[in-house]
Chain A
Amino acid sequence: SAVISQKPSRDICQRGTSLTIQCQVDSQVTMMFWYRQQPGQSLTLIATANQGSEATYESGFVIDKFPISRPNLTFSTLTVSNMSPEDSSIYLCSVVGGTGQETQYFGPGTRLLVL
């Protein structure tokens, strides 16, 4: 299984500011994803972080708001830009691994509160 770490684990931010979340994996992985989980809700996929090219965003998420970097196969960042209270959520990084490349492993998440 993959071991994933995220930084910061939590933060409280003022509206209008930006926060960059880092995701580090202990092995090289092809597929890397960023999810959001709002209080009491399930996970919503924000984007797929592609190594060496632009991220692929899901409907409702745009690059200007959630720029993503993927400089190599073990690391990615997600920036939440120009934050508002509606961005308060848990942000989770995940990778696909396992024998059949079908198992998703998640980082511990970053708890964000925007005031």
Chain B
Amino acid sequence: RKEVEQDPGPFNVPEGATVAFNCTYSNSASQSFFWYRQDCRKEPKLLMSVYSSGNEDGRFTAQLNRASQYISLLIRDSKLSDSATYLCVVNIYGQNFVFGPGTRLSVLP
């Protein structure tokens, strides 16, 4: 079983839609969790960290369920500019970051 798993998509949604991505991780010792965004032909950039209590940043909401080893990202009111690949990242053993395969999102006009 892979350490971090994501549905690769693509998710094709209309502008204004709400879309949710899920991510599961296998190592229960994982300490920190993140969502990164990667635009085509660009490097990954941090979108948001995921805290135990859940956190929100504008249209983006991240949730963590340690018992189920599951992370989610919810995007409300999708914009065309949200089209990208969203990478789930788990920090294991302190400084070892493990990247999921990414979920591709296309927001359509």
Contact of B91 with A by CB under 8 A:
yes
Chain A 31-61 residues near chain B, CB threshold 8 A: 31, 33, 41-45, 48
User: Number of A residues contacting the other chain (C-beta, 8 Å)?
Assistant: 18
The residue of chain A having its C-beta at the shortest distance from the C-beta of B6 within the complex is A42
- Count class of interface residues, chain B: 20 to 34
Contacts of A48 in B (CB 8 A): 95
Give CA–CA (A99, B89) in the complex, Å.
18
Stretch of B40-48, B55-63, B70-78 that contacts chain A:
B40-48
Contact of A66 with B by CB under 8 A:
no
Contacts of A43 in B (CB 8 A): 44, 87, 99
B91–A92 CB distance below 8 A: no
Q: A42-B87, A96-B95 are in contact. Are A106 and B43 (CB under 8 A)?
A: yes
Contacts of B30 in A (CB 8 A): none
Residues of A within 8 A of B (CB): 31, 33, 41-45, 48, 92, 96, 102-109
